[in-house]
Structure 1
């Protein structure tokens, strides 16, 4: 693995965050939202939005995946000032893991204390159904990489960050309480699953044998994002709430062919439940 010691440094974080802050003026976000495949429409509900394209931010890559707009949206959501990423970066796009997580450090520099990270994922737990939401309680990093490999910049975080509460326990308790108040179109309560997310490098979907292995080691859902961002958030001292939209069932013994279009279709169908839960969390979380 080739490490670029000049990539993702605090100096670059400062330059990127200053460029964003210059566009924000006196606006200071306190909650960050990373919106996964098919879930970016939540940013369209932000009031008095300030939109900043990634290509206007120094040292930023561009998002190349269908369903990822590639921009920040900053403004008011449920009475709180938020910064939302409409589109994230992925390891499988060819970016280094340091580049993938660069926005996490930039949001931290802008004043964000709380990070809501979402994704589309395949469900490996037989109790799940496509269209469920899963609260992430923990993760297993199967990407073979970490954003912290290489020289450590103490301005960004400690050399050996603790990961025992990578997904904040109090946030999970609050999310479960709020889920009881959310109703779907038929007036039924939201069923919020909880489980372990397995992060893989992608971009190929997993084989049946690989899925059976991940399920046996404790995985409940599998996807191609999130773990690097959460490691960076822990490194930087941010509190994280993680939510997966279960877009398909990834049961190794019963695996069916899958396309990105199918993933997007289920994510789009699940948007109202997802948005209601995230908005309730933004409204009530203490930051």
Structure 2
């Protein structure tokens, strides 16, 4: 089967129909859980879970910390669907397959995508355990020709040339920062730029210096491609990174990073990321079409 066939509307529809026939839940918010951040999906109420291996056309998740389940349920009274584990280019998947679930979400009726990830800090002002609200991204793969929209454009989903100047929703970012202050998280919640690289190796010193010079605050191996497809589909996007390590920019540094350490930091800090994202979801209007100021203020007063 050629990539263009699997990239088709028909394949996405087949997967969406399979899921819709097996659950009565009709979520409007989709959440992708990054490395070690699966407990967020576990917190959903009234869960219905599907293994990736059972879902038509879904890839398999092969990385430690990515469980491989699609979970429907409720978060703060709002119906959501969570990917407990994502897919990566370094697993051998082309980007059109990495991002396949995003188009399925669109056909399920999803209006908003929330992406989380574990990332390494390039900025010296970031510390391990910080949370970063993604303001923008550098899609390094896209700049070198590896774009998930490469190939025939599926007009049903979006235009040939989508704009990304507003990729990460400004209103939700503002709401998230306000929520962080209310929770007492202001000292370790920042806003910055995420850079996506292919992996699976961590960055060399020279590469880290280059990415920082380009304007990236953190770096990881996911997210940007998913956001490109989400915006092509017209979904609103919110992104949140958990800083699990500092990327070495000094040849004399003795520290080095490994995936086990990334998962350990994720495990220890995941509860705070989960709390922030949960409170943001709870403060959104029920139809996710706007962040209503009146409802948000009421939620704050009630401690929701």
The alpha-carbon deviation at position 190 of structure 1 amounts to 5.4
* Structure 1 contact 134–244 (Cα < 8 Å) conserved: yes
In structure 1, the gaps of 5 or more residues are none
The alpha-carbon deviation at position 110 of structure 1 amounts to 0.5
* Structure 2 contact 12–104 (Cα < 8 Å) conserved: yes
Q: How far apart, in 2, do the equivalents of 1:157 and 1:64 lie? A: 30
CA separation of 1:77/1:123 partners in 2, compared to 1, >3 Å: closer, same or farther? same
SS in 2 for 1:13: helix
**1:157 counterpart = 2:158:** yes
Task: Please tell me the root mean square deviation across aligned C-alpha atoms, in Å.
Answer: 1.2
The alpha-carbon deviation at position 272 of structure 1 amounts to 1.4
SS in 1 for 2:198: coil
Q: How far apart, in 2, do the equivalents of 1:218 and 1:42 lie? A: 30
Equivalent pairs counted in the alignment come to 280
Match of 1:224 among 221, 224, 246: 221
Q: How far apart, in 2, do the equivalents of 1:225 and 1:261 lie? A: 18
TM superposition score normalised by structure 2: 0.90
Deviating beyond 4 angstroms after TM superposition, the runs of 4 or more aligned structure 1 residues are: none
User: For 1:124-175, what per-residue CA distance to the aligned partner results, in whole angstroms no more than 9, with x for missing partners?
Assistant: 0100000000011111111241100000011121111110111111111010
Describe how 1:1-287 pairs up with structure 2 within 5 A: 4-25=3-24, 27-143=25-141, 144=144, 145-183=146-184, 189=186, 191-253=188-250, 254=253, 256-286=255-285, 287=288
* Structure 1 contact 126–251 (Cα < 8 Å) conserved: no
In structure 2, the gaps of 5 or more residues are 289-304
The alpha-carbon deviation at position 285 of structure 1 amounts to 1.6
Q: Which stretch has the larger CA shift, 188-197 or 207-216?
A: 188-197
Q: How far apart, in 2, do the equivalents of 1:16 and 1:207 lie? A: 39
Q: How far apart, in 2, do the equivalents of 1:256 and 1:212 lie? A: 16
SS in 2 for 1:60: coil
* Structure 1 contact 182–190 (Cα < 8 Å) conserved: no
SS in 1 for 2:227: helix
User: For 1:24-45, what per-residue CA distance to the aligned partner results, in whole angstroms no more than 9, with x for missing partners?
Assistant: 12x1001000000011111111
CA separation of 1:140/1:255 partners in 2, compared to 1, >3 Å: closer, same or farther? farther
